[in-house]
Amino acid sequence: MAEASGGGLRRRLAVALVGLAATAAAIQGIGYWVAERWVEHESLQGLLQHELSHLVETDAQPTLIAANDPTLRYFRPARGEPVPPALKALSPGWHEEVSLEGKQYRALVADIGPSDRAWLLYDISGVDVRERRLILLFGFGVLAIAALAFWASRRLAARALAPFDDLVQGIRALNPETRGARLRVDGDAELRVIAEALNSYMRALDDVIERERAFAAAASHELRTPLTVIAGATELLARKPADPAPPLARIDRAVTQAMLDLDALLALSRVREPPQATRLVLDKLLPDWAEPHLANLSTQIVWELQAAVLDAPMGSLHIVFTNLLRNALRAAGPRGCLILRCSGTGLDVIDNGPGIPPAELPHVFEPHFRGRDGGTGIGLYVARALAQSQGWQLSLVNREEGGAHAALRWPPVADQTSRSAVSIR
């Protein structure tokens, strides 16, 4: 049986059934015992009253009564039978517990005349033995019923939870890589509702995966052709000594970085294996990555860099950083200011723009969501997806003093270097 039902539902169902059966048996047994005690009391009291009336009417001798019936003791001083001191203190009427000569009796005392009183006692030793046996039998009965209920509850739980187990096994057998896999919708109505809800979720998940794969395929188709052309042009330019080397180096660097970015994007949809992590010197790489986006811009950039390293795929970090940078540049505008901060535990991109409207803030990482500053609607979504794939945390909040603060956090590298001076660009 599945762990969820076997460890939890089956045990709770068995305990509930055993408890219910034992409680019912206990209530019934107590009811029988109370009824037996009441019947015994009424019958015994009636018997003694009838017997005492008969003894008085027949003027029987007390000694003969004791000889004929050892369970009865009859005392009547008017007929010469002495009364024990323990009985003299009893008032006329019925008495439940009377001790005499080490035994327990029920006693009936009656005034027959002005100076004539009779005592009739009934030995209840046998009744006490029967009560003890009845209680013992009652205890064994409760235990037997509980054992039977436990056995029956296990079988009942197995039969009742069998459809649920089948559903759990069906869920576990699903392969997330197989599109179109669905659960069988049969069995109880309640389980059909669960299966249909899961099938609906899997259909929506298939749609999401299809969109991701389409996005990766489009990126591959759109980027690889121009990158191939650029790579070919780079080779041609490299054969002309008159052309300056720096532009060629920038083209070559752009081609290499675009290829790494493409690998990171394709890894999101599992079209290929995730790219390998490399040791990244962040205080050296970040300015190089930012340079193409800062050319011909008047936005003030304040760099606050610590000498830090990170083990991660270069393409993943490059896409996250450049998307955050582009969004901040659009928000700050040509007269704004950006703070680019990096340490051993993460990086921050801070702008002094108008901030994000509160109604839009919860949706900024959703695919195809475009805020008032424009954009493609896919950058922040891809950035968060890449960050999550690496175990990083990406957040975007408004600042109290104005503007927005994007923060990317990762676990610190054990051998990261010491803090360096702050530079401004």
pLDDT at 49 over 50: yes
Which structural domains are found in the chain, ordered by start? Answer: 3-149 (no CATH), 276-409 (3.30.565.10)
Q: Give me the pLDDT at residue 303, please.
A: 94
pLDDT at 8 over 60: yes
Question: What's the pLDDT band for 15 if we cut at 50, 70, 90?
Answer: confident
pLDDT at 106 over 70: yes
pTM assigned to the model:
0.47
Mean pLDDT of the chain: 76
Q: Give me the pLDDT at residue 420, please.
A: 38
pLDDT at 402 over 80: yes
β-pair type (404-409, 346-351): antiparallel
What mean pLDDT do residues 283-293 have? 88
pLDDT in tens, 313-326: 988 898 899 889 98
pLDDT at 18 over 90: no
More confident residue, 106 or 240: 106
Q: Mean pLDDT: which of 33-37, 88-92, 258-262, 415-419 is highest?
A: 88-92
pLDDT at 284 over 60: yes
Q: Give me the pLDDT at residue 5, please.
A: 44
Q: Give the least confident one: 51-55, 148-152, 160-164, 194-198.
A: 160-164
pLDDT at 307 over 60: yes
Q: Give me the pLDDT at residue 418, please.
A: 38
Question: What's the pLDDT band for 346 if we cut at 50, 70, 90?
Answer: very high
Q: Give me the pLDDT at residue 424, please.
A: 30
pLDDT in tens, 123-170: 877 766 666 777 777 777 777 777 777 777 777 766 666 667 677 777
Q: Give me the pLDDT at residue 52, please.
A: 81
What mean pLDDT do residues 238-250 have? 62
Question: What's the pLDDT band for 1 if we cut at 50, 70, 90?
Answer: very low
pLDDT in tens, 347-382: 999 999 999 999 888 888 887 666 655 555 677 888
What mean pLDDT do residues 171-176 have? 70
More confident residue, 205 or 240: 205
pLDDT at 4 over 90: no
What mean pLDDT do residues 284-313 have? 89
Q: Which residues pair with 304 in a beta bridge?
A: 341
